[in-house]
Chains A and B, each alone.
Chain A
Amino acid sequence: MTFHTDTPFTIAGRDFSSRLLVGTGKYKDFDETGAAIAESGAEIVTFAVRRTNLGQEAGPNLLDVISPSRYTLLPNTAGCYTAKDAVRTCRLARELLDGHNLVKLEVLGDDTTLYPNVVETLKAAETLLADGFDVMVYTSDDPIIARALEAMGCCAIMPLGSLIGSGHGIQNPHNVRLIVEQSNVPVLVDAGIGTASDAAMAMELGCDGVLLNTAIAHAREPLRMARAMKNAVEAGRDAFLAGRMPRRQTADPSSPFAGRING
């Protein structure tokens, strides 16, 4: 039995076989981080940039756990509330990674919701694109903003499913679908995924991928959840490609009526 082959998942000119992208925050320790990411099968891994703690013994470095030779690293601008800070953070990340220019841009509105500030996001994207960055952009699930970010040249549009770290899943699947249908660059649900069915739903909506962190890191068994997410993304993608059956108002028996013993 052969299947039609899937179209490649391409980000900024590179093909990836895994459509699951993961973060590196909130794990118990680096061992758990490394093991969970390996179990997830993710090839693109995001991390944050922060001031180095001075005057402390330098411990192990995250980049020893998620080696740039094994993973495609995706520095993010988490914690930035202005375009200026996000741009500075991306430039520091590029220096940190010896010129690697793929970034996840997120500019946040406030620390209660961590909702994207799309005005600052648009400003930051413009500067970063002019400076040669490949920008995967975290944004609201507003199709008009998504279209504007694509038109500017962002290489992936990443609407939230729900608030970062909330685990509330995809609150507005209709908007996510609108963004998927209008976009010519990959669309990934980023934020809000709580469990495997949320990730599968994103893929069934036609998203090209899913980016998540807390759903794995804060599961009771992170490694098992990492595997569940890997399977969910693959299952959701297959279901999307297979094309779901039409919905009906009434029942439609799977067994034939003809030949029943009571017929």
Chain B
Amino acid sequence: MHIQLNGEPYTLDADLTAADLIAQLGLTGRRVAVEINEEIVPRSQLATTLLAEDDQVEVVHAIGGG
């Protein structure tokens, strides 16, 4: 399955939930926020949100800025 992850093409080997993807990226427990197709996925729903073909996924975090 192919998705867009942070603006880049990304291939999934299996059906994954958003929480699986976060784990695969090594970000479990990190302070990140997830958006799929321009809709927020609340942290409480990451484990029950299945990714679908062509999903546009954004994973963001806090950085320095003014």
Question: Contact residues of A with B, CB < 8 Å?
Answer: 22-27, 33, 46-52, 54-55, 58, 61-63, 75-76, 78-79, 88, 91-96, 98, 164-165, 211-214
Contacts and interface: CB of A to CB of B under 8 A. Distances in A.
Contacts of B31: 61, 63, 96
Interface of B: 5-7, 25-27, 30-35, 38, 40, 42-43, 58-66
A212 B34 CA distance: 29
B58 A54 contact: no
Contacts of A96: 31-33, 60-62
Given A58-B26, A91-B40, A47 B63 contact: yes
Contacts of B59: 51-52, 54
A192 to B, nearest CB: 11
Contacts of B61: 49-50, 52, 61-62, 96
Contact of A164 (B25, B27, B66): B66
B27 A213 contact: no
Contact of B43 (A24, A93, A95, A212): A95
29 contacts: A22-B66, A23-B65, A24-B63, A24-B65, A46-B66, A47-B65, A48-B62, A49-B33, A49-B60, A49-B61, A49-B63, A50-B61, A50-B63, A51-B6, A51-B7, A51-B59, A58-B26, A58-B27, A76-B65, A76-B66, A78-B65, A79-B65, A88-B35, A92-B33, A92-B35, A96-B33, A96-B60, A96-B61, A213-B66
